[in-house]
Chain A
Amino acid sequence: MDRLVFILVVLAVATAAGLWWRSRNGRYTAIDPALLTSDDPTPPGSDLLGPAQLGSPLGSRATFVQLSSEVCAPCRRTHAVLGALAAEHEDLAHVDLDVAEHLDLVRRFNVLRTPTTLVLDAQGAVVGRLSGGTDRHHALAALSQLPASTSPASTTTATRSHS
């Protein structure tokens, strides 16, 4: 009897953990815009990333910096989703970096899981991140939350249909 109860408790804990994990996947967390514009001595605005660190040019509207690992299946699907978005929109860019080769970025932005996708604005400032496997819906939602001042040319792409 005790054994059965223990098994049921273990399975209940696993179910709760699984539901929590699923609800968090692809969630976009924006950095507070007030922090981005404040003149704090160490503003997050100093977290600028540029072509030098990324190895490729920034998108004129936004750049997805995906941090992936070799042992991560959702990373492949996320790569396909973000790669397709960047291919469809001239003003978007997508960079996929291996965490093992970019531990500096992992530490700097306190990345705990793969895939984590940093969302950069036109200047290369990190304005938010997508945590976990990301689908098209999640990525578009993140783009819609970009601070308005950093997406001057977004209206042309927002109306283009792509199904």
Chain B
Amino acid sequence: MSLPPTPAGIDPRGPRFGAALTAVLLVLVLALPAPASVVVLAVVVASFAVGAVRGVGGTWQGWVYRRFVRPRLAAPIELEDPRPPRFAQLVGLVITGLGLLLALVGVAAAVPVAAALALVAAFLNAVFGLCLGCEMYLLGVRLRARAAA
């Protein structure tokens, strides 16, 4: 009741499909040798950045879902608040963005570490519908409140 009014809902299958595409890219990051893996990681970082700013529907994965997947599916049973998946994009951006930054300053090991962490999160989202970043949100709120106190 004290929650703010919810904005227009989105099809919850969209973010999960997008996470599956992201997971495939992250597997590529882990599978490819050095220069190529950094390039693919940069693509993932850019996708997360778009998703964090515009929401999941505004990403290329969201476009692929609407254009090719959604027309083949029945109407969604329920709609989902767009804010949780958008928050998840922000978490993904921080993890992969840090990995990319470290790789660019010469820490090559940061690429597989960041890609592996993001792959776990994307895989859990796609297969189980679990938003890892959202589960950790409350821990973040508690830490921030403790730091402010």
Contact = CB atoms under 8 A, between A and B. Distances in A.
Contact of A14 (B30, B112, B124): B124
A68 B4 CA distance: 11
B7 to A, nearest CB: 11
Given A3-B30, A68-B3, A112-B138, A10 B120 contact: yes
Contact of A7 (B31, B78, B83): B31
A34 interface: no
B interface, over-half SS? helix
Interface in A68-100: 68-73, 75-77, 79, 95-100
Interface string A1-26: 00110110011011101110110000
Contact of A17 (B3, B31, B116, B124): B124
Nearest to B139: A112
Interface stretch (B39-47, B61-69, B94-102, B128-136): B128-136
Interface stretch (A42-50, A103-111, A135-143, A148-156): A103-111
Classify chain B: how many residues form its interface, as a range: 35 or more
Given A7-B31, A96-B3, A71 B134 contact: yes
B138 A18 contact: no
Contacts of B80: 73, 76
Interface in B97-149: 112, 116, 119-120, 123-124, 127-128, 130-131, 133-135, 137-139, 141-142, 145
Interface of B: 1-4, 6, 12, 27, 30-31, 78, 80-81, 83-85, 87-88, 112, 116, 119-120, 123-124, 127-128, 130-131, 133-135, 137-139, 141-142, 145
